[in-house]
Structure 1
């Protein structure tokens, strides 16, 4: 088993890139010609060129470098009137509720009650406010939770409005009125400006897709987090720091509300929600059972453990640290639950637990662990994180206890939470029984032994290898297996409180995708979204159909939404969007990201 990496090598200095952000747009639209192949989404009419897929360049992929090609595609058009089986897309307002912004409701009764309350408080909205059902794809899909057109959520909407500006002006003018909130205060109603193509119903589009295809024989694919985990960088910085030619956003970050004191410049911290492994160590533990891109891992189906350059599979981590009991002189192992994250909260769950709800992945869900043990190294930041103030002793959480270790895992001293991490050294943080274990072995000079393994979840076999790279997917499931659509939304924690489908299964968002072709090439794909005029984004099923059309045999959803970005040769190629109608979208927007997948010349 490969040991948890004991020492961080020097961090690469950030590469210098042009100060001015430049966005590579599609080439001037050529005279439309009927393409030989059509993206299998949206409304297709052979007699209407607005519905055709147009490729750039038209005569085939552009050679960016030996081993890297690029091609982009557009399709569709915005329409507010019916076309084919699309009813037309419109600007609306999606009502916020007391417990959170733009919360999708679980049932029709919930939506009906919220609508009645709204109309009681603001009767002038009669005729404009209504409930809306969000449904799974009517045609269904193959996956670990069946999708057969069932309801996956409800919302209260106001509108439609002719334009985004009209919807925003309606809110600014105070026409939503006010209500008494759960704290007894009179507060104004708020709502999110939303284009209803977001809900996943049949649409005319448009869509904008960009595809970079990489030959792993000529480029090393690897993960990077740039500077420090606690202070995330933009994709531009991540790609520049690694010396890569091309890179895309990779995993989800953790919502900042769950990690007090950790910088969250775009609402998310640099803590990866799931696994990140490079050849020199584990940087983030797995959310066990979630899908990931595995680079240079052992093939669990091969009895000899042949190395596979790239594949997609479900992975888990098992990590321990062992001391020698001073009385019995026997090994005394204990479980390590996390790497480089604050103790107590395990966002996304999926950790070693006897409780099924904690052992299963559940995206963004805040599981807690009263006996947490985490490893913090200097790539986290200059100082150790501290547990959330919400994890109080009154609720059964002990005080955080820490030991400082040298690079050889020899105890140096008791470490104060929040103090500096000396370069090259390690801090173990414990709560509850893990804190008691650390206290038992706190004597200076005590030698601890770490061990870790990366497992293929379905078989339980080790895939660990000295050149291993693993990076968790993001806000979507695995998409293709052996070229066939398979959406494992449950394994990736994308389900409702009752284990059923939720609104994530239907909604369209910007998407970042990774595909692996039959000849082993790796595809980095971005789908722009949240822009009514250029690209509305795609749902899970639409992305699976897209990757199948692009020739992938395996495919995985990476990060999405405002994270979605593609940098090549220092240029931002796509059009990242934080939200529908976000005011700051007049210029290219680049989020700070927890990590990236990059291609570096061999």
Structure 2
């Protein structure tokens, strides 16, 4: 690996040339992505400063060629600011008056405004904070003293001010994979945990890379990492439209973007950021009676993580990190769930009604019906599980030999996408390559009004989800496409004040634009963010227990 640096900024000498064909027939031009044109400027790592922190910070860039047309870059920028510190959070309040009226007995407090605003430009809220500490251990000890002194009136936590989203000097570590599809000696593949172990504990990026012998890899989309049963390791499957080599694995949340991988007329891989993903899975009997299947391979029947089209209560709108329910749920399980050894056995804890499952063979014939869930699918067959009205429909079709047909449809911006061999898709969000970022994100389910349960590093237990997830700095993973078709996979380490603070969603969008992505989408982040190059983990996951098992990964395979 070669590193170049100078005071203020490194000069990047290596360039990735992209030799585009004069005519390139694209099968997905109608999906809202950017067309490739022969006149597009060849992508190269920018020679200017990364748009993080003030101008003039130290910056270095290391470069490593992984294969023909594939390069890995690591950007290090900035350093910890003496103005940042650890502090104790006593709460996050809607108004300054609310915060100012609260005080911890015997402790001096202050009011810190959020670095973010809602869609009307109003400050999101105010921290009630106490103390300035050099280390997290000191802040944690102070939090314990405050809890004791106030008879646990507050639930004090700790935060580092560099993570809050206000101006800082870093530091940052940004890892970039740049893939030139016109001459790449490698291609991206979407990998599921263990290949076929959905509903289990997920798979780390490192384990996936080793299993498939990839040149490099990053984490992918969102997954079912919220468990209403409170188990330490919730069952993990992708959340949102997911396609692996033409096979629909999970259904769309609705109104969300994704990264589509497909082959052009010349057999070259092309990446496209698509928007407004939707799916329709329909089950029909021989008499024409039909019912909608909500999704595939989702654990915990009736529980819908991130809400959206599959949910009914309290909303059918997309809402990140929010748990909704559907007590008429209908889910299909195939050989990708728990390696085909069993189907789902869990039902939302609040549901008290009927449940039913059908076992269907490879020819679409019903084999058996059960009121107890968990049967394995037959070879090349599937299991259907339903609640409420869906359970009644399934039970009415439980006679062995009953024929059922399944149709699957995937679309983006209202246009059908072919579920063809060589096509893969990972849904995520928000879309980063839009001028009205906050408004667009809100439409996709990342709104200030969302009351998600995962508030990131920047919020207290009773804090504002949007402040912690969107405004605060966290680990981030993103994917983008440059004007010439170069695919950019970016991982930004976060939540580690002396190593890398991470980025807010607006900062992530700025990084992708600086890299030259004309279209870009945010993938899963926080403790999920990681990148592995060769046998080395170049990312630094922020979970205290280490690398996280995730619901899918993007792997760069040789050949």
Of the three residues 49, 52, 59, the one matched with 2:58 is: 52
C-alpha displacement at 1:557, in angstroms?
A: 0.8
C-alpha displacement at 1:571, in angstroms?
A: 1.4
Distance in 1 between residues matched to 2:172 and 2:376, nearest whole Å = 47
Please say if 1:442 is aligned against 2:422.
no
Check the 8 A contact 1:195/1:532 in 2, yes or no: yes
C-alpha displacement at 1:388, in angstroms?
A: 3.5
Distance in 1 between residues matched to 2:521 and 2:541, nearest whole Å = 20
Per-residue CA deviation, residues 119-178 of structure 1 (Å, 9 max, x unaligned), is 2xxx112x1x333321327xxxxxxx8474x31233332221122232123245x34316
Check the 8 A contact 1:495/1:501 in 2, yes or no: no
Q: Aligned residue for 2:272?
A: 311
C-alpha displacement at 1:337, in angstroms?
A: 0.6
Please say if 1:497 is aligned against 2:421.
no
Q: Aligned residue for 2:342?
A: 383
C-alpha displacement at 1:387, in angstroms?
A: 4.1
Of the three residues 106, 109, 114, the one matched with 1:124 is: 106
SS of residue paired to 2:343: coil
Q: Aligned residue for 2:301?
A: 343
Q: Aligned residue for 2:193?
A: 226
- After the TM superposition, which of the residue ranges 222-231 and 505-514 deviates more from structure 2? 222-231
Of the three residues 206, 212, 218, the one matched with 1:236 is: 206
Please say if 1:322 is aligned against 2:280.
no
Check the 8 A contact 2:88/2:131 in 1, yes or no: yes
SS of residue paired to 2:227: helix
Judged with a 3 Å threshold, the aligned counterparts in structure 2 of structure 1 residues 465 and 285 are, in CA distance, closer, same or farther, namely closer
Check the 8 A contact 1:384/1:417 in 2, yes or no: no
SS of residue paired to 2:315: helix
Please say if 1:359 is aligned against 2:307.
no
Judged with a 3 Å threshold, the aligned counterparts in structure 2 of structure 1 residues 158 and 515 are, in CA distance, closer, same or farther, namely same
Q: Aligned residue for 2:383?
A: 427
Distance in 2 between residues matched to 1:471 and 1:450, nearest whole Å = 22
SS of residue paired to 2:72: strand
Gapped runs of 5+ residues in structure 2?
A: 11-46, 452-463
Please say if 1:552 is aligned against 2:517.
yes
Please say if 1:569 is aligned against 2:525.
no
Q: Aligned residue for 2:16?
A: none
Distance in 2 between residues matched to 1:29 and 1:521, nearest whole Å = 23
Check the 8 A contact 1:296/1:465 in 2, yes or no: no
Q: Aligned residue for 1:272?
A: 238
C-alpha displacement at 1:307, in angstroms?
A: 10
Gapped runs of 5+ residues in structure 1?
A: 1-25, 46-50, 81-87, 97-103, 138-144, 181-186, 299-303, 326-330
Q: Aligned residue for 2:325?
A: 368
Q: Aligned residue for 1:167?
A: 139
Q: Aligned residue for 2:417?
A: 463
- After the TM superposition, which of the residue ranges 212-221 and 440-449 deviates more from structure 2? 212-221
Distance in 1 between residues matched to 2:291 and 2:397, nearest whole Å = 12
Check the 8 A contact 2:176/2:489 in 1, yes or no: yes
Of the three residues 250, 274, 279, the one matched with 1:284 is: 250
SS of residue paired to 1:562: helix
SS of residue paired to 1:592: coil
Q: Aligned residue for 1:204?
A: 169
Distance in 2 between residues matched to 1:495 and 1:235, nearest whole Å = 29
Distance in 2 between residues matched to 1:248 and 1:345, nearest whole Å = 27
Once the two structures are superposed, the pairs formed by residues 145-164 of structure 1 within 5 Å of their partners are 146=119, 148=121, 150-164=122-136
C-alpha displacement at 1:260, in angstroms?
A: 6.2
Q: Aligned residue for 2:351?
A: 392
Check the 8 A contact 2:3/2:61 in 1, yes or no: no
Distance in 2 between residues matched to 1:28 and 1:594, nearest whole Å = 34
Please say if 1:601 is aligned against 2:555.
no
Check the 8 A contact 1:153/1:502 in 2, yes or no: no
Q: Aligned residue for 1:411?
A: 366
SS of residue paired to 2:448: coil
TM-score (norm: length of structure 1)? 0.76
Once the two structures are superposed, the pairs formed by residues 73-88 of structure 1 within 5 Å of their partners are 73-80=75-82, 88=83
SS of residue paired to 2:472: coil
Q: Aligned residue for 2:433?
A: 480
Q: Aligned residue for 2:474?
A: 509
Distance in 2 between residues matched to 1:452 and 1:176, nearest whole Å = 54
Q: Aligned residue for 1:13?
A: none
Distance in 2 between residues matched to 1:366 and 1:352, nearest whole Å = 11
Distance in 1 between residues matched to 2:356 and 2:149, nearest whole Å = 47
C-alpha displacement at 1:42, in angstroms?
A: 0.5
Q: Aligned residue for 2:259?
A: 293
Judged with a 3 Å threshold, the aligned counterparts in structure 2 of structure 1 residues 30 and 490 are, in CA distance, closer, same or farther, namely closer
Distance in 1 between residues matched to 2:75 and 2:431, nearest whole Å = 23
C-alpha displacement at 1:338, in angstroms?
A: 1.7
Of the three residues 494, 498, 503, the one matched with 1:538 is: 503
Judged with a 3 Å threshold, the aligned counterparts in structure 2 of structure 1 residues 55 and 365 are, in CA distance, closer, same or farther, namely same
Judged with a 3 Å threshold, the aligned counterparts in structure 2 of structure 1 residues 563 and 34 are, in CA distance, closer, same or farther, namely closer
Of the three residues 65, 68, 71, the one matched with 2:70 is: 68
C-alpha displacement at 1:108, in angstroms?
A: 4.1
- Report the aligned-residue RMSD: 2.9
Per-residue CA deviation, residues 270-298 of structure 1 (Å, 9 max, x unaligned), is 12221211124211111111111111289
Distance in 2 between residues matched to 1:178 and 1:339, nearest whole Å = 50
Distance in 1 between residues matched to 2:156 and 2:263, nearest whole Å = 47
Judged with a 3 Å threshold, the aligned counterparts in structure 2 of structure 1 residues 498 and 380 are, in CA distance, closer, same or farther, namely closer
Q: Aligned residue for 2:158?
A: 193
